[in-house]
């Protein structure tokens, strides 16, 4: 009986800790929502306002008046969506080769890729800009899409996933059926690694959607920028920063990510559940 009571107390304590952690994690998002419904002068009032205000529509109107919100969002969707599709294809294809095929120089190429992975993005900015300028791509979306079409992290992640998820027996059986490399990749490998692809897709889309430094450098036309660069232009508008308007823009920019995460998480959980049933 004493052990049962002790386990119940530990369970209650664990749940209280989890609830506290959840509240701490959710509070910044809740605070952003609250700030977006108040005027800038009300945000700094004391005591702080913890309930929604009545200025959300006004903040939205000011936001649309100061930046081309939907045009910038369309640019971000174009870049992030295109890069995500390219990364899923190229990274999974390269990872399939590294994970399931042996060829001369395989270890050297993989080590070289990992060395590139360890190079900070800031060190790549100048040579990347020089290359894009030589190609005449500076100022266009191509300068954002092509350099990000494949990355070392995605190849490493999918390689590790494929090594354990794709059994050699499946590939051997497909070879007996006359399947070539591309058919093995498309019909055998991809259906098995869909949860890994879903994670990589979410990770890549979020990274491109939130990218600020490289679009700021590469897109020279201030009227043709991605959403994060456009939102940064709200700081100091008319000599002062309207924090209510800024937080409204940040909140609206977050909605596509929330929708993507909801869809992607459902895909991951569903595929993992199917795999467990099999």
- 273, pLDDT greater than 70: no
CA end-to-end span of the chain: 40
The arithmetic mean of pLDDT across residues 153-182, rounded, is: 90
- Which has the higher per-residue pLDDT, 22 or 4? 22
More confident: 232 or 93:
93
On the question of pLDDT at 265 being above 80, the answer is no
Q: What is d(CA 214, CA 129) in angstroms, rounded to the nearest whole number?
A: 9
Class of domain 67-233: mainly alpha
**Alpha-carbon gap, residue 214 to 151, rounded angstroms:** 15
User: What's the CA gap between 266 and 88, in Å, rounded?
Assistant: 18
Share of the chain above pLDDT 90, in %: 46
Tell me the pTM.
0.86
Question: Rounded distance, CA 252 to CA 257, Å?
Answer: 10
């Amino acid at each position: 009986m004493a052990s049962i009571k002790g386990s119940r107390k530990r369970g209650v304590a664990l749940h209280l800790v989890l609830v506290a952690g959840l509240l701490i994690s959710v509070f910044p998002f809740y605070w952003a929502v609250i700030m977006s419904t108040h005027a800038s002068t009300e945000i700094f009032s004391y005591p702080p306002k913890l309930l929604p205000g009545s200025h959300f529509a006004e903040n939205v109107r000011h936001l649309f008046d100061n930046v081309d919100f939907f045009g910038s969002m369309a640019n971000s969707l174009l870049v992030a969506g295109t890069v995500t599709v390219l990364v899923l294809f190229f990274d999974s294809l390269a990872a399939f080769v590294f994970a399931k095929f042996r060829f001369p120089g395989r270890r050297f190429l993989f080590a070289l890729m990992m060395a590139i992975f360890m190079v900070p993005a800031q060190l790549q900015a100048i040579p990347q800009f020089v290359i894009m300028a030589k190609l005449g791509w500076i100022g266009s979306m191509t300068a954002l899409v092509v350099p990000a079409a494949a990355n070392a992290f995605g190849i490493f992640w999918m390689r590790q996933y494929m090594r354990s998820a794709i059994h050699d027996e499946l590939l051997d059986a497909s070879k007996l059926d006359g399947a070539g490399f591309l058919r093995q990749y498309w019909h055998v490998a991809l259906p098995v690694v869909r949860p890994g692809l879903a994670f990589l897709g979410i990770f890549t889309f979020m990274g491109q959607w939130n990218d600020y430094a490289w679009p700021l450098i590469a897109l020279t036309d201030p009227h043709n920028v991605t959403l994060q660069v456009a939102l940064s232009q709200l700081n100091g508008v008319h000599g002062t920063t309207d924090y209510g308007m800024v937080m409204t823009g940040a909140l609206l920019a977050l909605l596509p990510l929330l929708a993507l995460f909801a869809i992607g998480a459902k895909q991951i959980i569903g595929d993992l559940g199917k795999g467990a049933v099999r």
